[in-house]
Amino acid sequence: MLLDYIKARDMLGRYGISSVKSGYVDSPEQAVKFSEGKPLALKVLSEKALHKSKSGVVKLGLLDPDDIREAFSELSSKASRLRPYKILAQRMAPPGVEAIIGGRKDPQFGQTILLGMGGIYVEAFRDFSLRICPITRYDSVEMIHQLRSAQVITHNGKSEKMLSGLLLGVSRLLGEHPEITELDLNPVIVREDGYEAVDLRIIEE
């Protein structure tokens, strides 16, 4: 069962994992207000459309209030067949490197944690690292270094430390929540001075 987005975000927050500012909006005006003059993304969340981008119910990079209103109306009409649904507004994260952090409950070994860098590397080259939870700091650093695409993120020690801390947080969360069967932070945008999970999904038994 898919956990509600805001509940999932709050659960991650309790483990120190930050994600982009998000909130449900019920009207075009609420969406405009949420933007506060900063670029916005609008997404339809529904059990019937687990692949949001494939279902065409995502609008990115909305800045102008009229564009926001129009996008809201368009999504609402598209989403009518996906009832019940909610519309999530998110601030756009500043650009950075994309990472994927995931969790999966292995039938043999229990919770496992996965790290991959930059979309294409994971998809095309199957470049990811995997560990059994709980992981230690040593494991988290090894997970980063094991990636062939490690250089795209480890150009400085600071971002490596940040990513390592993020992995430890996810591992702790998975360890304390055995009911989670799958977890996806995809993508996480990583910059030199910070990161945000942009999309997240937690599936429970």
Partner 1 sequence: MLKPRSVAIIGASRNPEKVGHVIFKNYVNAGYPGRLYLVNKSGEEIEGTQTYKSILDIKEGIDLAVIAIPAEYVPAAMEECGRAKVKTVVVVSGGFAEVGRQDLQDKMVGIAEKYHMPTLGPNCLGVMDPRSRVDTLFLPTYKLSRPSIGGVSFVAQSGAVGSTVLDMISSEGFGLSKFISYGNAAHIDEVDVLEYLLDDKETKVIILYIEGAKRGKELVKIARRISLVKPVIVLKGGKTFEGQQAAHSHTAALAGSYEAYLALFRQFGFTIANDLSELLHYAKIFSSEQQPSGPRIAIVTNGGGAGVLTADAISSSSFLKLGKFSTATEKTLRKSMPVLVNIRNPLDLAGDADYLRYKEALGAICGDGNIDMVVAIALFQTPGADSKLAAELIRIKGDSKKPMVVLSTGSDYTRMHKIMMESSGLPVYDSPAAASAALEALYRYSEYKKAKKQGKDPH
* Positions that interact with partner 1 (CB under 8 A): 106-110, 112, 129-132, 135-139, 142, 146
Distance separating alpha carbons of residues 37 and 165, to the nearest angstrom: 32
Residue 98: exposure state from Cβ atoms within 10 A (0-12, 13-18, ≥19): buried
Query: Taking the complex as a whole, how short is the minimal distance between the CB of residue 115 and partner 1, in angstroms?
Result: 11
Distance separating alpha carbons of residues 140 and 137, to the nearest angstrom: 5
Query: Taking the complex as a whole, how short is the minimal distance between the CB of residue 24 and partner 1, in angstroms?
Result: 36
Distance separating alpha carbons of residues 57 and 43, to the nearest angstrom: 6
Q: Which is nearer to partner 1, 71 or 153 (CB)?
A: 153
Q: For residue 169, what is the enclosing H or E element? A: helix 157-176
Query: Taking the complex as a whole, how short is the minimal distance between the CB of residue 129 and partner 1, in angstroms?
Result: 8
Query: Taking the complex as a whole, how short is the minimal distance between the CB of residue 125 and partner 1, in angstroms?
Result: 14
90: left (phi over 0), alpha (psi -120 to 50) or beta: beta
Q: Which is nearer to partner 1, 9 or 131 (CB)?
A: 131
Q: Which is nearer to partner 1, 56 or 110 (CB)?
A: 110
Q: Which is nearer to partner 1, 139 or 196 (CB)?
A: 139
